[in-house]
Amino acid sequence: MALLIKNGTVVTADETFAADVLIEGSTIREVRAGIPANGHTVVDASGLLVLPGGVDAHTHLDMPFGGTTSADDFETGTRAAAIGGTTTIVDFAIQARGTKMRNALDTWWKKAEGKACIDYGLHMIVTDLGTSGLEDMDDMVREGVASFKLFMAYPNVLMVDDATIFKALKQTAKNGALVCMHAENGSVIDVIVQQTLAEGKTAPVYHALTRPTTAEAEAVHRAIALAEIAGAPVYIVHLSSEDALNQVREARDRGLPAFAETCPQYLLLSIEDQMPGKSFDEAKYVFTPPLRKKKNQAKLWDGLKQDHLQVVSTDHCPFCFADQKALGKDDFTKIPNGGPGIENRMQLIHHHGVNAGRLSLNRFVEITSTAPARIFGMYPRKGTIAAGSDADIVLWGPKEKHTISAATHNMRVDYSMFEGFEVVGNARQVYSRGELIVENGKYIGKAGRGTYLRRDARGGAWC
């Protein structure tokens, strides 16, 4: 028996139209007005928007980092994602220095096994190309790992030099994968950090004050320049500032295949509001790149509208305040970097983007679902509502009110970065490959039902 979603308003990146959606098994079969009921199970979507499930291309579940491990595992993190209307994530496996990427892939598959509630892909964080790293990259592409993250920050931990970045970019020019760049000048930041600590400045706000926007812009510029020389596309992750955005815009204006994402925290939070430098509570907002001055927010929203930025992802990397952020009580460099957000991305961008008149509904769908699916090689299986696509569908109540709070959220972390934020618009029902997995804020699917996505290495072909 098929499932028929009737009377809803379908929203894709291109169109908004009244239509019914017929689902057979895990796949969308037909999208048009007036599909007859014909004994199908009918779901009445009157008054609801029928959206493609959200795609969050940047999450860190069960990730060892900063002397601890991110608080959400693949079960709690993907469950929270689903409740918020996200049906696909792309997480990061980390190559340990001196080891094969395949070991990391196996480790991350095991982390997800029996736990993932929604479908997931994996990027590979490259820490070392060694002697066989380039072949390793090709090996990963064959396994559906169609993107690699490299770090220009975190010296002695994850940072790689320009030669490594350039070699990786050249390899992706051949194998079609996409390099994702953490773009901050880590060496310069390290000098500023050491000077600041030597002056006795140890509070959380100094994490932000030691990472100037120019250090981000310089690295974005360098990443794009290296990609241009290599003849490869590049994707800048978690872009946080106007200075950095200007570099991406300039490159795109020249026709280069440079892409970038930002995150809700950079669009909605600021140094002025969240980090006045008064208490250790501000450790809740220690992530990298850091929060910026408020004046950057309007520029980032405008960048999303104008397609200088293509994607909003979360960089979900939760650490509990009580026992994890507290590691840095006397030294901001010991605060684990990262913040939670996987559950709230769709609500926040719908409310502050669409309701606030900054984005059309179609652009909302594009930046939260369609564009990440395309860029990361999952389109049209994910990221749209069309015959043949996976039936990953969110029935969205555009008028539903919700107050974000750690007291009620589903992420396994003891605070919310958006505590008390009131949003209008929320997921009423969520389907993943045709299965109803969320109903009125409750996850009703099984853990482990999510499957690994083998992604196509063709992100760079899309611009």
Q: Which does 337 bind (CB under 5 to 8 A by kind): Zn ion, ligand URP, none?
A: ligand URP
Spatial CA neighbour of 118 closest among 369, 348, 354, 365: 369
* Cα gap 142→407, rounded to integer Å: 43
The answer to whether the CB of 83 falls within 8 A of the CB of 443 is yes
Phi, psi at residue 318, to the nearest 5°? -85, 140
Mark the segment that binds Zn ion (CB under 5 A) among 14-22, 66-74, 313-321, 342-350. Answer: 313-321
Report the phi/psi class of residue 35: left, alpha or beta, with left for phi > 0 and alpha for psi in -120 to 50. Answer: beta
Rounded to a whole number of angstroms, the minimum distance from the CB of residue 283 to Zn ion is: 18
Written as one string, the DSSP assignment of 117-175 is: SSEEEEEEE----TTTHHHHHHHHHHTT--EEEEESSSTTTTB--HHHHHHHHHHHHHH
Q: Which is nearer to ligand URP, 266 or 443 (CB)?
A: 266
Q: Which is nearer to ligand URP, 92 or 301 (CB)?
A: 92
Residue from 288, 296, 313, 429 in contact with ligand URP (CB under 6 A)? 288
* Residue 64 burial (CB count, 10 A): 11
The answer to whether the CB of 35 falls within 8 A of the CB of 4 is yes
| Interface pattern 238-257 for ligand URP (x via CB under 6 A) | x-------------------
Residue from 60, 115, 249, 350 in contact with ligand URP (CB under 6 A)? 60
* Cα gap 361→17, rounded to integer Å: 12
* Cα gap 197→195, rounded to integer Å: 6
Rounded to a whole number of angstroms, the minimum distance from the CB of residue 258 to ligand URP is: 19
Determine the number of helices (DSSP H) and then strands (DSSP E) in the chain.
Answer: 14, 19
Rounded to a whole number of angstroms, the minimum distance from the CB of residue 160 to Zn ion is: 13
Q: How far is C-alpha 413 from the geometric centre of its chain's CA atoms? A: 18
Question: Contacts with ligand URP in 167-186 (CB under 6 A)?
Answer: 182
Sign of the CA dihedral with 387 first, then 389, 393, and 398 last? negative
* Residue 242 lies near Zn ion (rule: CB under 5 A): no
Q: Which is nearer to ligand URP, 339 or 353 (CB)?
A: 339
Question: Tokens standing for 439?
Answer: 């109903």
Rounded to a whole number of angstroms, the minimum distance from the CB of residue 16 to Zn ion is: 32
Question: Contacts with Zn ion in 173-202 (CB under 5 A)?
Answer: 182
The answer to whether the CB of 384 falls within 8 A of the CB of 88 is no
* Cα gap 57→313, rounded to integer Å: 6
* Residue 315 lies near Zn ion (rule: CB under 5 A): yes
Q: Which does 347 bind (CB under 5 to 8 A by kind): ligand URP, Zn ion, none?
A: none
* Cα gap 117→392, rounded to integer Å: 13
Site size for ligand URP (CB under 6 A) = 9
Rounded to a whole number of angstroms, the minimum distance from the CB of residue 147 to ligand URP is: 14
Rounded to a whole number of angstroms, the minimum distance from the CB of residue 69 to ligand URP is: 12
Question: Tokens standing for 395?
Answer: 């029935």
Q: Which is nearer to ligand URP, 123 or 428 (CB)?
A: 123
* Residue 337 lies near ligand URP (rule: CB under 6 A): yes
Q: Which is nearer to Zn ion, 10 or 57 (CB)?
A: 57
Residue from 133, 338, 397, 460 in contact with ligand URP (CB under 6 A)? 338
Question: Contacts with ligand URP in 295-324 (CB under 6 A)?
Answer: 315, 317
Question: Tokens standing for 83?
Answer: 């409740």
Rounded to a whole number of angstroms, the minimum distance from the CB of residue 336 to ligand URP is: 8
Rounded to a whole number of angstroms, the minimum distance from the CB of residue 287 to ligand URP is: 3
The answer to whether the CB of 3 falls within 8 A of the CB of 40 is yes
Q: Which is nearer to Zn ion, 108 or 443 (CB)?
A: 108
Q: Which is nearer to ligand URP, 313 or 384 (CB)?
A: 313
* Residue 455 lies near ligand URP (rule: CB under 6 A): no
Rounded to a whole number of angstroms, the minimum distance from the CB of residue 238 to ligand URP is: 6
Q: Which does 287 bind (CB under 5 to 8 A by kind): ligand URP, Zn ion, none?
A: ligand URP
* Cα gap 73→61, rounded to integer Å: 5
Give the helix ranges, DSSP H, for 25-84: 74-83
- Residues forming the site for ligand URP (CB under 6 A): 60, 182, 238, 287-288, 315, 317, 337-338
Q: Note the residues at the interface with Zn ion (CB under 5 A).
A: 182, 315
